[in-house]
Amino acid sequence: MSCPDCFKGTVHEGQPRGKVIKLHGLETYVSEPTNGRAIKGIIVVIPDAFGWLFVNNKLLADHYADKGDYRVYLPDFMAGWSAPVWMLDTIRVMETPGNWISKLTNVPWLLYSLIPWYAMNRISASYPRVKTFFELLRQDEGSSLPVGAAGFCWGGKHVALLAAEVTKVNDKPLIDAGFTGHPSMLVMPDDVENIKLPVSFAIGDKDSHLPLEVAHKIRDIVEAKPLEQRGEMILYPDCNHGFCVRADISFEDVAKQAAAAEDQCIQWFNKQFKIED
């Protein structure tokens, strides 16, 4: 299950520059390299609880496109049931000391959003949508371009499942490699042990959902895999759950950590896709 920290964070400022298309049955935000640079591969972002319309996720897709010359897709894998952005403020009110009347007033609103979110986005309902999208992508442009999946919080679980997937399309796995920042819903150690493709993990050392002993266990497992499956886990000091997407980047040190995680993702896919930086 997702943790309360999956619904905390800040909204970033900026104007996404991509466009929205219908791709393999899903509304999808797509971003490509600026200045007409050649596309080196495809990254599909499997987002956090706030989904494909969340400005932070769109801006992240833009960053990936520019930093790595990738075509980046951000599909509506939640089928219209992403968490509303106002939940960030509601959670903040609930955690502020005092003002019990305001807290009680916000409880029904939280339940109003959380109950359908959990119901519609449970893994048994969402993973078939994710898997089908990647199957169709691999049949199409993914037949000639490398495909990576980058998942955050809720999306991280799906990256682990895709990397463990035995299904192939035209004798190719659904993805060539994966990246995940602060994944949630992982069943440890099984979900990590079952991974058959290289996956890079970015985890904060203050992550309440992934305590240090779990983070180190992930590192031990992925780094012990055979070379063609070997992954990595990079630990970010003083970072909480959600730092890759929802960190308060008005603080310089926090912004640097979030940017470093972006670079980790791009460098990982470049390495796995054998693309020179």
The residue ranges of every structural domain in the chain are 4-82+121-272
Asked if pLDDT for residue 105 goes beyond 60, the answer is yes
Higher pLDDT, residue 89 or 188: 188
Chain centroid offset of residue 88 CA: 18
User: SS3 for 266?
Assistant: helix
* Closest listed residue to residue 152, CA positions, set 41, 241, 256: 241
Q: What is the model's pLDDT at position 111?
A: 66
With tokens 């054998």, the residue in question is 274
Tokens, residue 238? 């003083």
Cα-flanking dihedrals φ and ψ of residue 226, to 5°? Answer: -55, 155
Q: If pLDDT is split at 50, 70 and 90, which confidence band does 251 have?
A: confident
CB atoms within 10 A of CB 141: 13
Tokens, residue 246? 């929802």
Q: Where are the alpha helices (DSSP H) in the chain?
A: 55-68, 86-95, 100-120, 123-139, 154-164, 190-193, 212-223, 243-246, 252-272
Instruction: Look at the pTM and tell me if it is higher than 0.95.
Output: no
Q: If pLDDT is split at 50, 70 and 90, which confidence band does 1 have?
A: very low
Q: Are 184 and 159 in contact (CB under 8 A)?
A: no
| Class (C level, CATH) for 4-82+121-272 | alpha beta
- Could you check whether the bond before residue 128 is cis, i.e. omega within 30 degrees of 0? no
Query: Nearest 5 degrees, angle CA 132-CA 7-CA 131?
Result: 5
Q: What's the average model confidence in pLDDT over 52-63?
A: 97
Alpha carbons 25 and 22: distance in angstroms, whole number: 6
Task: Write the CB contacts of 179 (distance below 8 Å, at least 6 apart in sequence).
Answer: 148, 149, 150, 151, 159, 199, 200, 201, 202, 264, 265, 268, 269
Asked if pLDDT for residue 118 goes beyond 60, the answer is yes
Q: If pLDDT is split at 50, 70 and 90, which confidence band does 10 have?
A: confident
In this structure, are strands 71-75 and 172-173 parallel, antiparallel, or unpaired? unpaired
Q: If pLDDT is split at 50, 70 and 90, which confidence band does 182 have?
A: very high
Alpha carbons 247 and 9: distance in angstroms, whole number: 6
